[in-house]
Structure 1
Amino acid sequence: MDYIRHRKPILIAGLCTIALIALPRTALADASGVSFWLPGTFGSLAATPVAPGWAYETIYLHLQQSAGAGKNFVTTNGIPGSVTSGLNARADALVEGVTYTWATPILGGQAGFTMLAAPGNLGVGIGASLTGPLGNTVSGVKTDNRTTVSDVFYQGTLKWNQGVNNEMIYVAGNIPSGTYDVNRLANLSFGFTAVDAGAGYTYLDPKTGHEFSIVGGLTYSGPNNALQYQNGIDAHLDWAASQFISKDVLVGVAGYYFQQLTDDTGLGAKLGGFRGMAVGVGPQIGFLFPVGDYQGYLNIKGYADLEVQNRPQGWSTWVTFAIQPKAPEPPPTAAPIVRKY
């Protein structure tokens, strides 16, 4: 299976923070039980170098999250720092991104830079608003539906390859788009800035088609001044394992572990430290195909939360399509010269 070495796809799961935009603001950030980082963002082949040049990525992302009436979350709800009980949220986003990968090595590795943003539609419902910052109690059901755009996201990567071993470091974050509305339940913009950094490893054996990837990172979030709330520091670990069953098809499984390390802070942190945790897993399948002089890649994967703490629980579906330059083919092996006398 030597073809794998010369046809490595760029897996969009290697693009950090792409899906962070896709949960509604009332279910986003540790304030509402979900962080800036969306678990499962990284996947198979995350650390493998790719062909230099420009690449295009698009991801359709669907998320469905819910929490029973016994689960409380700090939300916007028109009142900074208000506490609500019960939550149902749905999001559909279309992430669009471009990546440039340099051919000239930097520190012996391959450097790349990505910019992404997404339009999307969000629907949010909460069961009851319990208390506001002045102690007022309000009950009832409130819903919101909104079509808007996300923040702008960036990521820089540096990757190295030594045979079957591939390593990566990355830094990612967001640039606020200005569409955040403190009076709306549904937002694709965060209302604060955040930075995430980490490292990853991919094992890829071109002869057997075995692949395994693991990426870990830490997220620091700035304060949300409208909510008077600042998320704690989060740690995340994404992993994936796959098998090439032919030169153009891979199948596998992916999962994540997320753990908030420090407490949420600020006057709006009515629920105290409110540290979150999540464990999830799901299947994936990928397809390679030519697109003119470029390499196309389609990946479909899904995750289900197995266990959560202080977060809504649910599932997500990712459909990723990417086009990138083809890797150069190896030079043909010259036939040996046979001398006859």
Structure 2
Amino acid sequence: MTPSRQESRVRFIRSSLGAAMVLLGCVPEAAYADEGGVSYWLPGRFGSLAAAPAVPGWSIAAVYYHTTVSASGATAAAKEIQIGRFPATVNSSLNLHLNAQGDLVLLNPTYTFATPVLGGQLAIGVTGLFGRSSADLSGTLTAVLGPLVITRNGTIADSITSVGDLYPQATLKWNAGVHNFMTYVTGDIPVGAYSPIRLANLGIGHAAIDGGGGYTYFNPQTGHEFSAVAGLTYNFKNHDTQYQNGIDFHFDWGASQFLSKQLFVGLVGYGYQQITDDFGQHPILGGFRSRVVGVGPQVGYLFPVEDMQGYLNLKAYGEFAAENRPAGWNAWLTFSISPMAPAGTVAPTRRMVTK
């Protein structure tokens, strides 16, 4: 590959991925949580080229997200306890099954600064969402309170169509040839549709803060790319339920091969592990530490949109090794528009600043 073609590929890819790679907004899955099996962090949020710097200016990403998950045992019972269908002080045996589904649309406007900050590229943005979440809980729950034994059979179903929480984020990225580095901070502003007695919600009912770092290897000459991002989430107390999720660790990765300067294919994956116990949970749940692993395929396509750059990406995950958390599959369809790199310029190489 000649230097001019290589430089063109770098400019095209980096400008086209500007909006999509800073999409850090949380998606509240239909039935995910540490409380009730639901977490603030949505595994799979980061993917290929996550740490690659973008072209300065305004960009926007839109994502359609679908998830279908299920759970049984303690994870399903946690939802029954959370919505207050029986007192949390009773002894109980569990034969419950939870099914949930979510269809969400996220919008993420982001501004990338041209002036370096600590030798890197600063970007800030916020993510909002609108969509539908539905869930149903079925089976048998037997509760024992002194001499009384209560058995409940049947199904509870719920759905909601509304807006979710807001998720501000900031990233700082450095480039050194084929090596790219990133640090980020994001969080949850709990303003979305939420009720502690609902089975389905689009907000999580509490604030959270999350931060971490990532790395991307991208060689435009060979088309090889690999990215990995790790972080930790601190959850604040849900004052409606007096429940506080533990600290969560998450690891997202993506690997791809560019077949041309416009088309790439590859794999994506994630691991999620809660590392401290929840507080305020029913004794039957124990520490209720959540875990899940996911992996799946991806395909991406880059193209011009008048004087801007467009990007389409489809990725999907199948989940396994879940514990205290619903599991199933999810898919992301991302479309982003970002500034076009100036003609005749070469993607800058920045030295990473260390202190």
TM-score in same-fold range (> 0.5): yes
**Percent identity between the aligned chains?**
48
Which residue matches 1:39? Answer: 43
Of 63-72 and 316-325, more deviation after overlay is shown by 63-72
Of 125-134 and 316-325, more deviation after overlay is shown by 125-134
Which residue matches 2:287? Answer: 273
Which residue matches 2:263? Answer: 249
CA pair 13-74 structure 1, distance change in 2 beyond 3 A: farther
Match of 1:5 among 7, 10, 18: 10
Deviations 1:18-54 (A, max 9, x none): 32x2x12xx2321222321111110000000000010
Letter in 1 for 2:298: Q
Q: CA deviation at 1:130?
A: 3.4
Letter in 1 for 2:230: G
Does the 8 A contact of 2:69 with 2:328 survive in 1? yes
Matches for 1:103-122 after TM superposition, within 5 Å:
103-122=114-133
Q: CA deviation at 1:12?
A: 2.7
Q: CA deviation at 1:140?
A: 2.1
Which residue matches 1:18? Answer: 26
Deviations 1:124-146 (A, max 9, x none): 00014737898976432100011
Measure, in 2, the Cα distance between the counterparts of 1:310 and 1:81: 21
CA pair 161-80 structure 1, distance change in 2 beyond 3 A: farther
Does the 8 A contact of 2:36 with 2:75 survive in 1? no
CA pair 140-198 structure 1, distance change in 2 beyond 3 A: same
Secondary structure of the 1:154 match is strand
Unaligned ranges ≥5, structure 1? 333-341
CA pair 72-6 structure 1, distance change in 2 beyond 3 A: same
Unaligned ranges ≥5, structure 2? 347-355
Q: How many residues end up aligned between the 2 structures?
A: 328
Does the 8 A contact of 1:180 with 1:191 survive in 2? yes
Measure, in 1, the Cα distance between the counterparts of 2:50 and 2:215: 8
CA pair 59-42 structure 1, distance change in 2 beyond 3 A: same
Match of 1:217 among 228, 231, 240: 231
Does the 8 A contact of 1:277 with 1:311 survive in 2? yes
Does the 8 A contact of 1:80 with 1:133 survive in 2? no
Match of 1:165 among 169, 175, 179: 179
- 2:201 matched to 1:195? no
Match of 1:93 among 104, 109, 112: 104
Which residue matches 1:283? Answer: 297
Matches for 1:61-140 after TM superposition, within 5 Å:
61-68=65-72, 72-75=76-79, 76-79=82-85, 85-128=96-139, 130=141, 138-140=152-154
Measure, in 2, the Cα distance between the counterparts of 1:315 and 1:289: 29
Q: CA deviation at 1:268?
A: 4.8
TM-score (normalised: structure 1): 0.90
Q: CA deviation at 1:269?
A: 6.1
TM-score (normalised: structure 2): 0.86
Does the 8 A contact of 2:64 with 2:105 survive in 1? yes
Letter in 2 for 1:15: L
Does the 8 A contact of 2:249 with 2:273 survive in 1? yes
CA pair 312-331 structure 1, distance change in 2 beyond 3 A: closer
Regions of 4+ moved over 3 Å: 68-73, 78-84, 128-139, 267-270
Measure, in 2, the Cα distance between the counterparts of 1:154 and 1:134: 45
Letter in 2 for 1:47: A
Q: CA deviation at 1:11?
A: 6.2
